[in-house]
Amino acid sequence: MGPLSPLSPPSSLSDNPEPQSPQASQASQSSQLTDLLVSLRDRVMGVSESVLSTVDGLLVVADAETVHPESVAALAAATLGVSRRIADQAKVGALREVVARCGNGHVIVLAVGERALLTVVGDDGLDMAAFQRESPATVEELTKVLAADVAY
């Protein structure tokens, strides 16, 4: 075997970046998802917390300080399941969201594609018009980030 040619750098110095490890990729995805939740809170007055979960109730990420994210994730899955059945029985079309208006605020559950849910907790000053305007873009971006995970 002869020496390396001066025109071919060792493979460790090539221009091709090494692929991210699964852990680094997952951390990057979690960061992107959390940033989207924080952005929704920043853009809509009254949004206080949010939880992204799978449709079967497992926590993905959360922007939450007072709620227990794992419990919210599980309850959101149950809420969506029951609400879809009610919508089906009432023959009013596909379910878009579930809104619970409570004594001191709101809890809203939205489908994020076919495999995730976004649960948003808002105080009693929640700007519902701004939420209705901003949430579709957030759901679309969350769907894109989650879909990228499936591509690998």
- Angle CA(41)–CA(135)–CA(139) in degrees, nearest 5? 105
Tell me the angle at which helices 128-151 and 22-43 cross, rounded to the nearest 10 degrees.
Answer: 170
- Segments in the chain forming alpha helices (H): 22-43, 69-90, 128-151
The pLDDT-based confidence of 26 (bands split at 50, 70, 90) is low
Per the prediction, the chain carries an average pLDDT of 86
Query: How far is Cα of residue 77 from the mean position of the Cα atoms in its chain?
Result: 14
The neighbour count for residue 50, using CB atoms within 10 Å, is: 26
Which residue, among 115, 116, 138, has the nearest Cα to 40 in the 3D structure?
138
Q: What's the average model confidence in pLDDT over 25-34? A: 84
- pTM for the complete prediction? 0.80
